[in-house]
Amino acid sequence: MSKFDVIVIGSGPAGYVAAIRAAQLGLNVACLEKGTSKEGKPGFGGTCLNVGCIPSKALLDSSHKFVEAQQDFDAHGIAAKDLSIDVATMIARKDKIVSQLTGGIGQLFKANGVTAIEGAGKVLASKQVELTLADGSTQILEADSVIIAAGSVPVEIPPTPIDNKVIVDSTGALDFLKVPKTLGVIGAGVIGLELSSVWSRLGAKVVVLEALDEFLPAVDKQISKEARKILTKKQGLDIRMGARVTASEVKRNKVTVTYSDKDGEQQLVFDKLIVAVGRRPQSEQLFSADSGVTIDERGFVYVNDYCETGAPGIYAIGDIVRGPMLAHKGSEEGVMVAERIAGKNAAMNYDFIPSVIYTHPEIAQVGQTEEQLKADGVPYKIGVFPFAASGRAMAANDTDGLVKMIAHADSDRILGCHIIGPSAADLVQQVVIAMEFGASSEDIGLTVFGHPTLSEAVHEAALAVEGQAIHIANRKKRK
């Protein structure tokens, strides 16, 4: 029986970060990974690096460059005619990036002394872990602490069974070898919109079917309204809300999708169908009955604020526990847990976790939305600045969107920031830092920002909270 100070199950952004940090703190660490890459190598990096965050962003960037050259270069005086996209080369580039990053994790494990083990882990009683190798053989590992970071998998729905040919999930959508003429996407959430953007830019006629009536309900309404306008009117996505898919039929390499909406039953035929209705925790067959770990009805592992399960010495982090399924959230939980195991008094602030949708323009937010504050009865004030008034955005010919800053009406402390626009993911991070330090909108307004930069839009939005924006006309305050 092998013994470690810490065993980590899963090597995604939560697991590999936890393993490395624990090793940095002097602990003897093993990290178990059951997944494999396309090349048959250990799938270090989990969903994010192999079939999620990284490959999708590679395709989003490739497709954005293509459509930018196709539609926007003329404005810069650049003649680019008869453009074409080599999908195979685009996919190969994506795969190369994935291979470099997953291989990099293996090198980081070696550099930090983490023992990487290929195989599936199952948590038993008394902090023992059953390791199942690829050949089916098993052995028992023992640890002082166990960190579960098994991640999540795409949700499947009965009306559209995945066949990995015509009907695919988010993983399959990253490996199309040619652009489908017609593409259906079920789900207008983060994953659905990002994948829709990729293939729409490359020429597919895309219809997005969303069962909910409200578009991006977790996003500030002013931002979601602006996003829908840009994605549909400017970019041509056909987004149908209140469309509940009830059946599908595959014939002759095409799929007929039946859905119901306010007008009754409808049917559409597509060359490909992507099912992107969310993800669920990968917790099946992960625990023995006597492990002491509690799982709720949705498959999430129950943990407290410090990611401790009900079993002493057993922790769970990342997509498998409560909170947003975000790689950076899981990574920070991994750091917190590793440090607590090492005896440090570490904690994590869940109030200021940024979230991003990598469409173009990007959509990013942190803190509370205007709707949440209104529902909670919190007094607030708002400052808005459009990128259309940004000199840097004009120079880049990228002026869609706005920055919305929300501060407490009395204390002026920043309560939320919501951005749709160029580099929104990077811009919102400035506000995350400010909120961590309890900053006010005045604090940001008094800060010197470089000129000309996109970040000046954040500065101006903060100034606009008090009607002091310089580069737009300020709204008159109500008396």
Q: Catalytic residues, which ones? A: 451
Provide the residue count of the chain. Answer: 479
End-to-end CA distance of the chain: 74
Task: Please give the backbone phi and psi of residue 422, each rounded to the nearest 5 degrees, phi first.
Answer: -60, 135
Residue 391: which of 315, 466, 314, 451 has the closest Cα? 451
- Helix, strand, coil content of the chain in percent (nearest 5): 35, 25, 40
The DSSP string of 309-360 is: -SSTTEEE-GGGSSS---HHHHHHHHHHHHHHHTT------GGG--EEE-SS
Query: Do residues 214 and 371 touch, judged by C-beta distance below 8 A?
Result: no
Residue 269 CB neighbour total at 10 angstroms: 13
With b for 16 or more beta-carbon neighbours within 10 A and e for fewer, the 8-33 pattern comes to: bbbbbbbbbbbbbbbbbbebbbbbbb
Residue 409 structure tokens: 């009406």
Q: Which of 466, 423, 425, 463 is nearest to 444 (CA)?
A: 463
Strand ordering across the sheet containing 362-367:
355-357, 362-367, 414-421, 402-408, 380-386
d(CA 80, CA 67): 11
Pair type for strands 279-281 and 152-154 = antiparallel
Strand, helix or coil for residue 458: helix
**What tokens were used for 166?**
């015509």
DSSP letter at 405? E
Residue 321: Cβ within 10 Å count? 23
Rounded distance, CA 76 to CA 238, Å? 29
Beta strands in 217-327 (DSSP E): 238-241, 244-251, 254-261, 264-270, 272-275, 279-281, 314-316
Q: Is 89 left (phi over 0), alpha (psi -120 to 50) or beta?
A: alpha
